[in-house]
Copies of this chain bind each other. A is one copy, B any other.
Amino acid sequence: MHHQNLTKGLQRAELARRTGANLETVRYYEKVGLLPPPPRTASGYRSYDGAHERRLSFVLRARELGFSLEEVRALLRLVDERDQPCAEASRVAATHLADIRAKITDLKRMEGVLKTVVAQCGDGTRSDCPLIETLFREKAF
């Protein structure tokens, strides 16, 4: 079924499979400059190597930590261009950490309100629905 999977070149599906990326995402990341364009075979097929695989894994792990594509680009630039990237990289991470904490705070606010109204709704046999009332009431949260 498959051909050269060691030392030669990976095709797109194989790279996607190895990294866990979606097939189309690989092409998308190339288009937006997160993955360098690989060499092509005579017939135009992309041929990836280990460096591509590592880079794509880097991007995917950064995405798992919630970094935006722009932040990932910044981190990749630091990896590529700087010899002492830690200060700048940790600044990017600290900013992102603050974003995440703000999101958590916001979600917890929503959770608190919803937990309360769902409890008030109970088995749903009330004629006045606490959820709907809450949404109609002025600035209740």
Contacts and interface: CB of A to CB of B under 8 A. Distances in A.
Given A64-B141, A93-B131, A123 B87 contact: yes
A129 B66 contact: no
- A contact face: mostly helix, strand, loop, or mixed: helix
A66 B110 contact: yes
A118 B100 contact: no
A81 B1 CA distance: 57
A96 interface: yes
Interface in A58-72: 58, 61-62, 64-66
A118 B86 CA distance: 10
Interface of A: 54, 57-58, 61-62, 64-66, 75, 78-79, 83-91, 93-94, 96-97, 100-101, 103-104, 107-108, 110-111, 113-115, 117-118, 121-132, 134-136, 138, 140-141
Instruction: Report how many copies the assembly holds.
Output: 2
A87 B117 contact: no
Contacts of A132: 75, 78-79, 85-86, 89
Contacts of A85: 129, 132
Contact of A104 (B58, B75, B111, B121): B111
Contact of A125 (B87, B91, B101): B87
Contact of A90 (B66, B79, B121): B121
B93 A117 contact: yes
